[in-house]
Amino acid sequence: MKAAVLHEVGGVPRYEDFPDPVAGEGEVVIDVRAVAVENVDKAIAAGTHYASSRYVEKLPVIPVFDGIGALPDGTLVGFGGPRLPYGALAEKTVVSREATVPMAEGLDPVAATVLSSAMTGMSIRSAGGFVPGETVLVQGGTGVAGRLAVQVAKLLGAGRVVATGRNAAQLEEVLALGADAVIDTSLPDDELAKAYAAACGDGYDVVLDYLWGRPTEILLRALTPDSFALAKPTRLIQVGELAGSTIALSGEALRTSGVEICGAAKGFTAESMGEAFAQIVEWSRSGSLTFSVERVPLSDIEAAWQRTDLGGRRLVVVL
């Protein structure tokens, strides 16, 4: 079969022949139809993700670990966790039968690969305890997941949504998606802190953070009161680290700001994840939730893997 094969940590997958997978006990071979390539996939291949060692310990390996494909009887399913060295970027892969979920009827396979990115947006409710009417800040609102999160927050009933990003044109696009205000994180530190404070209205109730790094450090500084007055509580949900993997966190940023920090997986169960995804599918079918993709064939993976011009579109490999 043809596959995208990674031969070295930090390298670029190459389109080449690879042995066909053979199903073992409890496994099934999947004919792959569509695979979204996300930042986490590139970080794992680069060896910079905390889970990289598990996936690139033995090379060569096929990257990406979930997608949409067909069972031997033709049933379309979402799948995850292929048995290494098989990954999703191949004509076929092999997974545990328990790691497949029937795809919603009538849902396009390419759309299904992108909608999973909206699950992080749903974490404002599951992890952040969001209730309608609250103010949500999306750190990294110009990315694929960030744009979906802005829309999800509005669909869940947010009273105000603020989004951040570095590209002026893309920030305008996020406003068109429903954000009430946007903040340019390329501003100098002091100006950025003032922008966070000016845009918060009565305060940020929930922050969905795809950035971490410098923007979050400055946000926490902006949320720290300069008096003994009690600050409005802010629940910060950590999702990604596009702007840096670490932050300098002062004690007062937690002690006096009312900030509570948790990860996006908090509160999710198998049942609640199923319910959340069903809601996302419904919004997509109705046209309430929109997104953009860049479709490429598997044969173009080497060039596509290195692209930096997607601007809020999700790269989806179709087979």
pLDDT value, residue 122: 96
CB atoms within 10 A of CB 184: 14
| Cα–Cα distance measured from residue 155 to residue 169, given in angstroms and rounded to the nearest whole number | 24
**The predicted structure's pLDDT at residue 231:** 67
Per-10-residue mean pLDDT, the chain, length 319: 96 97 96 94 89 86 95 93 96 95 86 89 96 97 96 98 96 97 98 96 95 97 78 90 91 85 90 88 91 95 94 93
Element (H, E) at 30: strand 27-37
Q: Sign of torsion, CA 73 77 82 88? A: positive
User: Rounded CA gap, 6 and 23, in Å?
Assistant: 22
- Evaluate whether 44 touches 57 at the Cβ level (below 8 Å): no
* pLDDT tens sequence across 3-61: 999 999 999 999 999 999 999 999 999 999 999 999 889 999 998 888 888 888 889 99
| Distance in angstroms (rounded) separating the CA atoms of residues 236 and 220 | 10
Domain spans of the chain? Answer: 2-103+289-318, 118-263
Segment 194-219, tens digit of pLDDT: 999 999 988 999 999 999 999 999 99
- Residues composing the chain: 319
Region 2-103+289-318: CATH code: 3.90.180.10
> What is 118-263's CATH topology?
Rossmann fold (3.40.50)
